[in-house]
Amino acid sequence: MQEFSRLVPTTTQAAARAGAVPQASFIAGGTDLMQLWKNNVQAASLVVDLDRLDLRRISLDGPTLRIGALATMAEVAEHPDVKRRVPAASEALLAAASPQIRNMGTAGGNLLQRTRCGYFRDPGFACNKREPGSGCPAIAGENRELAILGGSGSCIATQPSDFPVPLVAADARVELHGADGQTRTVELEQLYRLPGDTPHIETVLRPGEVITAILVPDAPANRRATYVKVRDRQSYAYALASVAAGIELQGGVVRDVRLAAGGVGTRPWRLDASEATLRGQRLSPALIEQAAARATDGAQPHAKNAFKVTLLRNTVRRALQAVTA
């Protein structure tokens, strides 16, 4: 592990300015970053610790639920406004990691944890994401847990976090504070870049930009929502496939629906074709079946993860059945 100096700023502006320096890295709960440093997957010469920033509050701002980026995963999961406004986000967090990690890990850190691709996490292997241009052994190798949606010839790694999946379904945005003192908001789905031929550039964050909050709009389909996660074991396991489903029904007709999937895409994956199949139609088992089938439009499975095509369809069906029961 490389030696580094540590800075603990007390204002977001000071943090953003310090974080803009090349080789600087923000740290929040440290639960992902510490592993990456110890295993020499990632290094930083300056660590900017966000711990003292006033970014922990969870509050209602009119119709918007505002989740401070430094609120812990446990605090977010248990907050009454989160449970009421976006219950699928609470369920996703409670299905993530362990109680100990949820007490350390933060909302912002979970959005940005790095892929679990085994080649990426082992510097003994080539990996385009870790070392641009070195190759992607996963495409012809061990890809059981990797993406069937959004991959490229350079990288098929999944974004592994649970929390952003229901947030993408809920049309959440992230609030960002830049080194130039400017604040902007970005749709959470658009925070993540598709790998293309530059898989090492994972987000649209500018140097030094701090995630300050997650903003979730209020909508009936966000309030009536659930999260279904399928994994190899019931705890300490990442999703092989997961689905956040939210719905608003009026007289048996689908007025609004929001669907996103995790564990299958190179970013949290909005299921637009499934939503379009459902919207404005009278709900029925046959319609749910059609929507589930459309979830894998554009899927590109690999030798060891073709099972995810059926798994994703089944998970969409389960989530829709659960949320409409």
Ligand X SMILES: Cc1cc2nc3c(=O)[nH]c(=O)nc-3n(C[C@H](O)[C@H](O)[C@H](O)COP(=O)(O)OP(=O)(O)OC[C@H]3O[C@@H](n4cnc5c(N)ncnc54)[C@H](O)[C@@H]3O)c2cc1C
**Measured between alpha carbons, how far is 184 from 292 in angstroms, rounded to an integer?**
35
Q: Which of 24, 58, 69, 191 binds ligand X (CB under 6 A)?
A: 69
Please check whether residue 322 is in contact with residue 245, taking contact to mean a CB–CB distance below 8 angstroms: yes
Q: Is the CB of 87 or the CB of 268 nearer to ligand X?
A: 268
CB of 160: closest distance to ligand X in angstroms?
6
Contacts of 237 (CB under 8 A, 6+ apart): 231
> According to the binding rule CB under 6 A, does residue 50 interact with ligand X?
yes
CB of 12: closest distance to ligand SF4 in angstroms?
31
> According to the binding rule CB under 6 A, does residue 158 interact with ligand X?
no
Q: Is the CB of 90 or the CB of 113 nearer to ligand X?
A: 113
Q: Which of ligand SF4, ligand X, none lies near 129, with the C-beta cut-off 5 to 8 A by kind?
A: ligand SF4
Of the candidate spans 94-102, 194-202, 215-223, 286-294, the one that interacts with ligand X by CB under 6 A turns out to be 94-102
Q: Which of ligand X, ligand SF4, none lies near 32, with the C-beta cut-off 5 to 8 A by kind?
A: ligand X
Q: Which of ligand X, ligand SF4, none lies near 269, with the C-beta cut-off 5 to 8 A by kind?
A: none
Categorise residue 208: left if φ over 0, alpha if ψ from -120 to 50, beta otherwise. left
Largest CA distance in the chain: 62
Binding string to ligand X for residues 5 to 34, with x set by CB under 6 A, is what? --------------------xxxxxxxxx-
Q: Which residue pairs, CB below 8 angstroms and at least 24 apart, start in 57-65? A: 58/82, 60/85, 61/215, 63/217, 63/218, 64/215, 64/216, 64/217, 64/218, 65/215, 65/216, 65/218
Q: Is the CB of 135 or the CB of 207 nearer to ligand SF4?
A: 135
Report 229-268 residues binding ligand X (CB under 6 A): 236, 238
Please check whether residue 203 is in contact with residue 112, taking contact to mean a CB–CB distance below 8 angstroms: yes
Taking each helix axis as running N to C, give the angle between helix 285-294 and helix 307-324, from 0 to 180 degrees, rounded to the nearest 10: 140
Binding residues vs ligand SF4 (CB under 6 A)? 115, 117, 119-120, 127-129, 136-138, 146, 155-157, 199
> According to the binding rule CB under 6 A, does residue 215 interact with ligand X?
no
Q: Which of 320, 307, 322 minimizes the C-alpha distance to 271? A: 320
CB of 21: closest distance to ligand X in angstroms?
13
> According to the binding rule CB under 6 A, does residue 96 interact with ligand X?
yes
DSSP secondary structure, 23-63, as one string: TEEEESS-TTHHHHHHTTSS--SEEEE-TTSS---EEEETT
In this structure, what DSSP letter does residue 157 have?
A: P
Contacts with ligand X by CB under 6 A lie at 25-33, 50, 69, 73, 96-97, 101, 104-106, 108-110, 112-113, 161-163, 210-211, 236, 238
